[in-house]
Structure 1
Amino acid sequence: MSAPTHTRSRPATRGGAEARLPWWALALPALAFVALLLLILNPSDAHAAADAPAITPLLEWLRQLIAR
């Protein structure tokens, strides 16, 4: 004998969850990815660059700050 199936009389709700993401939900992971990418890049490997990039002192300062 088969059991009766129950169908919903109204569509399922989302529970009040917002369907759209706020701008920072995409910006923060992208910013974190760029920051980590900059941290792993070694400017000494760039043979075409004549001078060290201007961001190098900032990254060195951040590395020293984190190492404390």
Structure 2
Amino acid sequence: MPAPTHTRPHPAPRGRVEMRLPWWALALPALAFVTLLLLVLNPADAHAAGGEPALAHLLERMQHLTAR
């Protein structure tokens, strides 16, 4: 028994492809770019992980950046 095929009710427009990206598909690369840019601008802060909690350091860094 052959499987039923599903066709589109309207033909696809020629020469035009519509594609919608989720919000995170643009936000994540932008966030990664900004993070790497900050590390390049201030390489002294790009040290290996030590005894200080990473979340506290990140929040402190964000506070310093927004205070400028």
TM bucket normalised to smaller: 0.3 to 0.5
Question: Which structure has the larger Rg?
Answer: 1
Query: RCO (CA 8 Å, sep 6+): is it higher in 1 or 2?
Result: 1
Q: TM-score under structure 1 normalisation?
A: 0.39
TM-score by length of 2: 0.39
